[in-house]
Amino acid sequence: MPPLEKIEGNIPYRPLGLVKNIIEGLGAEISYVYEDLIFIKHNHFLLRFGEVGDTLFFHRNDEIPQEEGAGHFTVLQREAAGQGISLVPDDSYTLSEGSNGELNLAFLKK
């Protein structure tokens, strides 16, 4: 698959459109966005915007094997770099349903 076209100029704060293009270019899909978090369909990983537009953090679902998560990270990192975005590995996470039906997201420290 050829790399996506790089957007010229500065990367805006929380560049959701750019991240969406990267994700979809890899055959994945964004399922939900909440503040600085980007949830990916099938929940193998999620992304979190950094304080500046050119930084994005990668969080692996703790239920996904580390090798599989590393593979997702490598492919995503290559595409993000082609767009001027630094993808940084960060803590894994768990997602569970609370007693009130709400989802509970917990980041697990390395």
What's this model's pTM, rounded to 2 decimal places? 0.87
pLDDT digit string (tens) for the chain, length 110 residues: 344 444 445 788 999 999 999 999 899 999 999 999 999 999 999 999 999 889 999 999 999 999 999 999 999 999 999 999 999 999 999 999 988 889 899 999 87
Taking the C-alpha atoms of 47, 11, 15 and 78 in order, what is their torsion angle to the nearest 10 degrees? -40
What tokens does 25 get?
A: 């270019």
What tokens does 17 get?
A: 């459109």
Q: What is the pLDDT of residue 91?
A: 95
16-108 maps to CATH 3.30.530: no
What tokens does 76 get?
A: 């995503």
Tell me whether residue 58 is exposed, middle or buried, using C-beta atoms within 10 angstroms of its C-beta: 0 to 12, 13 to 18, 19 or more.
buried
